[in-house]
Amino acid sequence: MGGAWNAELVQWVRERAQAEGFNLAGVAPAPAAEEADGALTAERFRTWIESGRAGEMEYLKRRNAQGELLRGSARRAMPWARSVVVCGFNYNGAGPLSQDPDEAGRGWIARYAWNGDESGKAVDYHYDLMVRLRVVEGALRERVECETRCYVDTGPLLERDFAARAGIGWVGKNTCVINQGVGSWLLLAVIVTSLEVASDAVAAMSADRCGSCTRCIEACPTDALVAPREMDATRCISYLTIELKGPIPVELREGMGRHVFGCDICQDVCPWNRRAPVAAQAGLATRPELVNPRLDWLAAMGDAEFRREFQGSPLERTRRRRVQRNVAIAMGNSGDASFVPRLAEWARGTDAMLAEAAVWALRRLQSRED
Ligand code: B12
Ligand code: SF4
Ligand code: SF4
């Protein structure tokens, strides 16, 4: 497959992606891990994994037969890969920031999980973006013969690294990709291709516009941003509330505040999001009940109601049991004694992880009353 990108084809794919609702698109080379740029990424990722930053996220640690980390280079899982089309989708739903004051007794669900369709049913961005991406992929393959593979979030490659190299934005000190016009409320979707890249065909890498700012690092309540652009995921509220299967380390619980699913703080404080445009996509709307959700509503949900509310939503994969573990901790941090009966019921229950979180929460409420 000897095709290659030229400036005209890059512009065409950008416009094709925009026609499918993506706000931004660009093309990045996919160098081998032995080439200079490829080696830098592979080494950065290896150091991150080997210093234990990935916690229980075993899928990030997969290696090939040679013992190399698969995600360190796109060519390790896909030897034919030569370039990656990166598409950015603005998901900034109309709504407050997590740090804006709100009524007592409310939790926080991360912004990317707020979406629903016109009937209010949850929409999973993985699925929605994949449908759009496949249309772009189909059009590309009609125009030029090539090998391709589409991923939204789950592929064995570092999407942010490619986004930065495709000119979508720079990697901020909070580790998120930030675009000067759209901000960082961007989901990424990628098409890996076998098309070679001529160096004058792709956009230059976006300039780093963080400057001397360190707001995200200072605002992180669990000190997960251990250095600019370096996260210790085992301390990140997003990891603790979404990925961690067992009990949440006691020393990080207070810092979790009212978060029950994901965390937006290091993006909420970012000056580049101050004027971020609100997403305007047909068929995607903010579900108001998920913005500052009532903790007692989430706590009272049985399996059937949880399924009804969150089937197709990113919360589905975290499951009711872990979401309620997070709710127990948020109740403990709330200072609101009206949650005591619910926590006492959980503390007597048969689910050991939930019971332990509830006992912690009861003690914390008690200690705040003393
Ligand atoms: C594992 C994971 C997580 C983990 C770890 C996050 C992390 N910072 O490492 C947890 C669960 C904590 C997480 C949280 C979130 N995630 Co997440 N996550 C992923 C996933 C699946 C893999 C990321 C990974 O490999 N991390 C390991 C680190 C080492 O890699 P990295 O973050 O990509 O960092 C690379 C770049 O920063 C680059 N780099 C660093 N400095 C520089 C400098 C230059 C010049 C260049 C070119 C590159 C570069 O090198 C690093 C290694 O190569 C990706 C999807 C994917 N397949 O890539 C989504 C992804 C990164 N997540 C995403 C989102 C939306 C989130 C949340 C906002 C969700 C939420 N609200 O809770 C938070 C954001 C928290 C944060 N500040 O990062 C988006 C990010 C979009 C964006 N605009 O950046 C992605 C791309 C998913 C998607 N398809 O949209 N996530
Ligand atoms: S998502 Fe929250 S916990 Fe994670 S690094 Fe950002 S501010 Fe810290
Ligand atoms: S808050 Fe400041 S340092 Fe952090 S990502 Fe935004 S601009 Fe960069």
What is the rounded CA–CA span in Å between residue 77 and residue 347?
46
**Structural domain spans, the chain:** 4-91+121-201, 295-370
Residue that is written with structure tokens 């930053």 in the block: 53
Residue 165: enclosing H or E segment and its boundaries? Answer: helix 159-165
Ligand nearest to C-alpha 219: 2
Q: Is pLDDT above 80 for 368?
A: no
The verdict on the CB of residue 186 being under 6 Å from ligand 2 is no
CB 69 within 8 A of CB 38: no
CA distances from 230 to 44, 45, 236 (A): 10, 10, 11
For ligand 2, is residue 60 a contact (CB within 6 Å)?
Answer: no
Q: What is the average pLDDT score of the chain?
A: 95
Please tell me the predicted confidence (pLDDT) of residue 118.
83
Lowest mean pLDDT among 5-14, 47-56, 191-200, 258-267: 191-200
- 178 DSSP β-pair partners: 170
Report the distance separating Cα 51 and Cα 294, nearest Å: 38
The model carries a pTM of 0.97
78-136 tens-digit pLDDT: 999 999 999 999 999 889 999 998 888 999 999 999 989 888 888 888 889 999 999 99
Residue 199 has pLDDT above 90, yes or no: no
Which residues have a Cβ under 8 Å from the Cβ of 76 and sit 6 or more positions away? 33, 64, 68, 69, 70, 156
Task: Say yes or no: CB of residue 172 within 6 Å of ligand 3.
Answer: yes
153 belongs to the catalytic site: yes
Q: What is the total residue count of the chain?
A: 370
Return the biggest CA–CA distance within the chain.
73
At 147, list the tokens: 């090998």
The single-letter code of the amino acid at 87 is C
Class of domain 4-91+121-201: alpha beta
Which residue is listed with tokens 């990722």?
Answer: 45
C-alpha dist (Å) from residue 289 to 74, 183, 232, 247, 294: 39, 25, 31, 27, 8
Instruction: Find the residues whose C-beta lies inside 6 A of ligand 1.
Output: 41, 44-45, 48, 57, 60, 71, 110, 112, 152-153, 155, 158-161, 164-165, 171, 174-177, 184, 186-188, 229, 231, 233, 236, 238-239, 242-243, 262-264, 266
- Looking at CATH, the fold of the domain delimited by 295-370 is given as Leucine-rich Repeat Variant (1.25.10)
Pick from 134, 17, 138, 35: nearest CA to 81: 35
Other beta carbons less than 10 A from residue 344's beta carbon: 13
